[in-house]
A and B are shown apart, each in its own frame.
Chain A
Amino acid sequence: MTTHVRDAITVVHGPQGCTHHNFSLLHATSLDNDRIALPPLVSTGLSEIDVIFGGEGALDRTLDVVIARDPGAVFVLSTCIVDTIGDDVGMICGSKAGVPVIVVPTAGFLGGSFQTGVNNALIALAGMAEPAEGNGQVNIIGEKNLEYEVEENFAEVSRLLALLGLSVNLRFVHDLATDRIASLGAARLNVLRDPSLIPVGESLKERFGTPYITMYPVGISGSVDFLESVADTCGIDPHRAVDEERGLRQETLDDFADLAGSEVSFAPLPPDPEGSRAAQDIAHALRLDINPSGRPVPVPVTPPIGITGVRRLLHRWRRALHA
């Protein structure tokens, strides 16, 4: 999350190994999304001697080096060992001036999950914004930056918002500049990527009074539900947009009518129940016959987003059925 603030530097306070995996993962994911760049991620590189004598000096020195590069902000993530030996990360970060240095508590052994870390990071980043005058736009909160279709999914959400006459204010956080974070509180609505981000939605609501919805337009029926939910929260009449989207949905079903009656099986089912539900809904809408002896068709790990996502999935199904 924090590395998506492109002009900021993220410091991981711990041994090098705690940074390596993140660095590799972020680098590989960037390449998959056609972005050739090294993630702005720096380790304080703690050694055994730092652990014995305390790692505060190493953090202090790393912060000085990093701040000298004139970043928009510095985010400091903690690790298990520094919270075990009791380094006062907040005190060191608080002693730096000129650049915002923001602590994101991420010592895994203190509990929580990947999602807790994401939420903590977003809430920490939101601390850089002040209440602002409304601009009538919409924030997208907590996009899954590691999923392959993050850009396609965002394009679909933007398309649906545009049907309602709304535009996107911030992708919080995706490919963002530090100074843009200031406008976080100006939006009229926050769209959370999924319900696990509710703590972030609540925090933003408390600080800026921004209402939120917890859904993305998942599967064949999600687009219309999404339009209605956004319109309802913003007090907009959704009828024209909903009619248009229903038309697009019918058009899609017509385009793939040749698949009707085919026998398909979903094997193996993804662990995400939302994904398998979305796949079943699409199969029913196209009058496909789901049975274990049917031809296996792929079900993506994360469910298709919007009609465009459904179309992409149906192309894959058609290829599988005609193979």
Chain B
Amino acid sequence: MKQIALYGKGGIGKSTTSANLSAALSFAGYDILQIGCDPKRDSTRMLMQGRLIPTVMDQVRERSAAAVMPADVVYTGFNGVRCVEAGGPEPGVGCAGRGIIATFQLLEKFGTLTGDVIVYDVLGDVVCGGFAMPMREGYAQEVYLVTSGELMSLYAANNICKAIQRLSARPKSRCRLAGVICNAKNQPQEEGLVAEFARRVNSHLVQFIPRDRIVQLAELNRKTVIEYEPASKQAQIYRDLAARIMENALFTIPTPLEIDDLEALAIEFM
């Protein structure tokens, strides 16, 4: 079983990439589980025809952890991809990080964490220990950073490298940086910049995903690109991504950059 986690700046396209990746992997014949680890709970929406599925935390809140059954939290979406949303508190109260930890404990208890590939789609920043949960021992061993060529996005990716570096230093930790995915904003020299960033943090660019309007059209139709326009160029790119992730064997401990170095790098590619 392969367990991968996608991290990156808020709004960079983690959920879109995750959903399309899961869809593409399912067509390659794999049994896929996608887990949305964000209180916003919209990771799996495109796999569920636009439906916001009940979250693990909502179920536990309504009927207590003992009464919740696996069928209450695992929903089968497009092409058999199993979908789970962790959920969490309303914005501004409580502790979303603890919600992620509680979700993992419950899924562990259910024995839900099975299949050929588990895709963890995690909230923008690793703001606390709870959001590092997918990187902890026993869960995702392969972390993919999703970033564009924009400085703020690279800054967030660099910051996540720090979390991976810290966690991978723990005894028995098998969490590694598996690569960088460039979800492009159509900036000049964007692919070169992100590839160079990946190299500097001791990793590699796995896939360059150009900006394409078809992604938005698919979303407006509540579908992944794979489902909405399987013959499109963009769908092929997601299938390429899926293939590369399955073949990937380059897992490293990242070397995060200093902010000055990161800025200098961005200026080089201006």
Contacts and interface: CB of A to CB of B under 8 A. Distances in A.
Interface of A: 48-56, 84-87
B98 A51 contact: yes
B96 interface: yes
24 contacts: A48-B98, A48-B102, A49-B60, A49-B61, A49-B102, A51-B94, A52-B61, A52-B88, A52-B95, A52-B98, A52-B99, A53-B57, A53-B61, A53-B89, A53-B90, A53-B93, A53-B94, A54-B93, A54-B94, A84-B95, A85-B93, A85-B94, A86-B93, A87-B93
Contacts of A56: 93
A64 to B, nearest CB: 19
A247 to B, nearest CB: 66
A13 to B, nearest CB: 14
B124 to A, nearest CB: 19
Contacts, number: 40
Nearest to A52: B99
Contacts of A54: 89-90, 93-95
Interface size class, chain B: 10 to 19
A237 B99 CA distance: 68
Contacts of B99: 52
Instruction: State the 3 A-B residue pairs at the shortest beta-carbon distance, nearest first.
Output: A54-B93, A54-B94, A52-B99
Contacts of A84: 95
Interface string B100-120: 001000000000000000000
Contacts of A48: 98, 102
B228 to A, nearest CB: 35
A197 B99 CA distance: 42
A49 B61 CA distance: 6
Nearest to B58: A53
Nearest to B57: A52
Given A48-B102, A54-B90, 19 more contacts: A48-B98, A51-B94, A51-B95, A52-B57, A52-B61, A52-B89, A52-B94, A52-B95, A52-B98, A52-B99, A53-B61, A53-B88, A53-B89, A53-B93, A53-B94, A54-B93, A85-B94, A86-B93, A87-B93
B120 to A, nearest CB: 18
Q: Which of the listed residues A53, A54, A55, A84 has the most CB atoms from chain B within 10 Å of its own CB?
A: A53
B91 to A, nearest CB: 11
